[in-house]
């Protein structure tokens, strides 16, 4: 649980730190060139938005907010994605395959977050509806030990009972 909670907080920090690392890594390890700089200038903000979207979708899950911890599946998908982004900062010039890996893992992380959000919402909604149905049944049931005309043990002469029959004229 400790690792899952740490990763819950880290995902928001990583959304800003890893795109910033691409700029820093390019400054230290980059080989120069206008194409690479342009790729970083365009790619880092897109990466920032993508990571924030995945973090937000993960945070919107009720179970994640309740536990303040991500799932193990989230860690299994987000950790390689973030490691690939980190590695991209070290090898910005000769890393077309690493960029493709970052893109693929980003898409996997996004759709995983969407799928888990929908599954968690469906599960929580079903639980809430079951609770409402149970409460409705409990309220509509007669009190325990009380005989009603629907029950065969009802005897109108055993207690003082007033029966009012309503007759409506036919129109």
Examine residue 168 and state whether it is found in any structural domain, yes or no.
no
d(CA 152, CA 117): 50
Domain count for the chain, please give it.
1
Does the structure show a pLDDT above 70 at 142?
no
Examine residue 17 and state whether it is found in any structural domain, yes or no.
yes
Residue 87: Cβ-neighbour burial (10 angstroms; 0-12, 13-18, 19+): middle
- The stretch 151-163 carries a mean pLDDT of 58
Examine residue 115 and state whether it is found in any structural domain, yes or no.
yes
Give the per-residue pLDDT at 94: 59
- Contact of 57 with 51, CB cutoff 8 Å: no
Of 31-35, 41-45, 90-94, 148-152, where does the model show the most confidence?
41-45
- The Cα diameter of the chain in Å comes to 101
What CA–CA distances, in Å, run from 124 to 35, 119, 160? Answer: 48, 9, 48
Examine residue 48 and state whether it is found in any structural domain, yes or no.
yes
Over the stretch 75-97, which tens digit does the pLDDT of each residue have?
999 999 999 999 888 876 657 88
What range does the domain containing 87 cover? Answer: 2-119
Examine residue 73 and state whether it is found in any structural domain, yes or no.
yes
d(CA 38, CA 47): 14
Examine residue 23 and state whether it is found in any structural domain, yes or no.
yes
Least confident of 16-20, 44-48, 95-99: 95-99
Does the structure show a pLDDT above 60 at 145?
no
54 membership: H or E segment, kind and range:
helix 34-59
């Amino acid at each position: 649980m400790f690792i899952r909670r740490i990763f819950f907080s880290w995902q928001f920090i990583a959304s800003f730190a890893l795109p910033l690392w691409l700029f820093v890594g390019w400054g230290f390890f980059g080989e120069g060139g206008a194409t690479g700089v342009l790729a970083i200038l365009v790619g880092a903000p897109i990466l920032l938005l993508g990571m924030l979207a995945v973090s937000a979708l993960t945070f919107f899950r009720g179970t994640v907010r309740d536990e303040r911890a991500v799932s193990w599946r989230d860690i299994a998908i987000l950790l390689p994605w973030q490691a690939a982004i980190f590695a991209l900062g070290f090898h910005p010039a000769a890393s077309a395959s690493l960029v493709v890996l970052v893109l693929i893992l980003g898409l996997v992380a996004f759709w995983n977050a969407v799928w888990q959000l929908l599954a968690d919402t469906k599960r929580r909604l079903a639980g809430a509806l079951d609770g409402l149905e149970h409460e409705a049944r409990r309220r509509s049931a007669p009190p325990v030990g009380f005989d009603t005309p629907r029950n065969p043990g009802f005897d109108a002469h055993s207690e003082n009972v007033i029966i009012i029959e309503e007759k409506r004229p036919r129109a």
